[in-house]
Amino acid sequence: MIYLDSSCLLKLLLSEPESEAVRQAVAREGDVVVSALTELEATVQLRAGRLGAAFGERRYRAYLDQLKAFREVDPFRFLPLPGTVFQTALRQQRGARQPHYRSLDRLHLAAMEELGLRRLMTNDAAQATGARGLGFEVLRPGHP
């Protein structure tokens, strides 16, 4: 079981350099967890792309439909997060012996802990470093 962050979820929706590597990595996994935070962040990024004219309304709607369709297919498991995720992020931050990381990165790492997951799939280098610092295994498809 692996936690999919928004950088990789977006690679599954958009055509980007690492998209094929992410698709292949996801296909090798038994269960791929998409947290409510990951879904929210991906949806916000898609909306930003639409508002910034990176793509039109039709494509935006198609991306949202594809994201919704992921809920119905394996290996995806869309999971809610408990309210304690914020306290977990605070505890991780206070105990950190590593450089500062963005709040969303901290929340993703706290979500992993709350969901009992030890593996992360991300294309975010800073988040990968933070995850390793907490003892998580990190998979970065398309990166050595």
**CATH code, domain carrying 102:** 3.40.50.1010
CA 17 centroid distance within chain:
17
DSSP state of 69: H
Domain residues for the domain of 19 are 2-139
Q: Full-prediction pTM beyond 0.75?
A: yes
Q: What is the pLDDT along the chain (144 residues), one digit of tens a residue?
A: 999 999 999 999 999 999 999 999 999 999 999 999 999 999 999 999 999 999 999 999 999 999 999 999 999 999 999 999 999 999 998 887 766 678 999 999 999 999 999 999 999 999 999 999 899 999 999 997
| Within-domain flag for 93 | yes
Amino acid at 98: Q
| Within-domain flag for 144 | no
**pLDDT for residue 144:** 78
